[in-house]
Structure formats: structure tokens, C-alpha cells
């Protein structure tokens, strides 16, 4: 992700009340997993799979390499937070053409 995309993500999340304030943790946390779609060739996953096989690990059918993010949420009820995180995932944190995402809010 380039610097412009990071800045855009930060702006979007802070506009919607997603932040870490004064070093203290907020009440909720979103845990987000972004992975390549099954139909998309994953060269990074294939490289990891080949390396594992080369190291003697057998029976590995496929490897998919993705991203894991944790976002601390402030000042929103759970349903509002869920909508905001889903919107951020769809617009900025993933590429919906080639990636799937899922998340949970704690």
C-alpha cells in the first residue's frame, strides 16, 4: 500500500470516529482478514507453498497469503462500527475485484 492510500485510509477512518486517542485503548476492536479470491492466482501463496514443500513439509494443497488488520474503534455502537468497517474494507482496505474480506468486532 502506498503512502497516499495510507493517508486516505487514515482520513476515512478518523472521519468516521475510528481512532486511538491519547494512547488509551477504545472500547471496541475490529479484526479484519483480507485474502485473495479463490479464482485469483496468488503468486505469493504459491511461492510460500513451494518453499514449504522444499523444506520437507508434505501434503500442503494450497497456501493463500493475505493481510490481517486490527482497528481500534471509538465512540460508536456495534452496528454503526460494523457498517463503517465494512465500508472501509470495501472502499480502501481491500480490492473487491481480486480480494475477499471478513471481519469481527469485539
Q: Which residue has the higher pLDDT, 21 or 106?
A: 106
CATH of domain 3-13+27-105: 3.30.1280.10
Q: What is the mean pLDDT of residues 9-13?
A: 67
User: How confident is the model at residue 22, as a pLDDT?
Assistant: 45
- The domain spans of the chain are 3-13+27-105
Helices and strands (H, E) in the chain, number of each type = 3, 3
66-102 pLDDT per residue, tens: 999 999 998 778 999 999 999 999 999 999 999 999 9
User: How confident is the model at residue 10, as a pLDDT?
Assistant: 67
d(CA 62, CA 95): 21
Query: In this structure, are residues 36 and 28 in contact, taking their beta carbons and an 8 Å threshold?
Result: no
d(CA 64, CA 73): 28
34-70 pLDDT per residue, tens: 999 999 999 999 999 999 999 999 999 999 999 999 9
Cell numbers for 36: 485473495
User: How confident is the model at residue 1, as a pLDDT?
Assistant: 52
User: How confident is the model at residue 23, as a pLDDT?
Assistant: 46
d(CA 65, CA 97): 16
Amino acid at each position: 500500500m502506498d503512502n497516499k492510500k495510507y493517508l486516505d485510509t487514515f482520513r476515512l477512518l478518523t472521519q468516521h470516529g475510528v481512532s486511538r486517542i491519547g494512547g488509551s485503548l477504545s472500547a471496541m476492536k475490529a479484526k479484519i482478514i483480507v485474502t485473495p479470491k479463490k479464482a485469483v492466482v496468488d503468486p505469493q501463496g504459491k511461492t510460500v507453498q513451494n518453499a514449504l514443500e522444499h523444506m520437507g513439509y508434505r501434503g500442503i494443497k494450497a497456501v493463500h497469503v493475505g493481510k490481517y488488520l486490527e482497528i481500534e474503534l471509538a465512540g460508536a455502537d456495534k452496528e454503526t462500527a460494523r457498517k463503517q468497517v465494512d465500508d472501509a474494507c470495501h472502499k480502501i482496505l481491500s480490492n473487491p475485484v481480486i480480494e475477499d474480506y471478513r471481519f469481527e468486532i469485539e
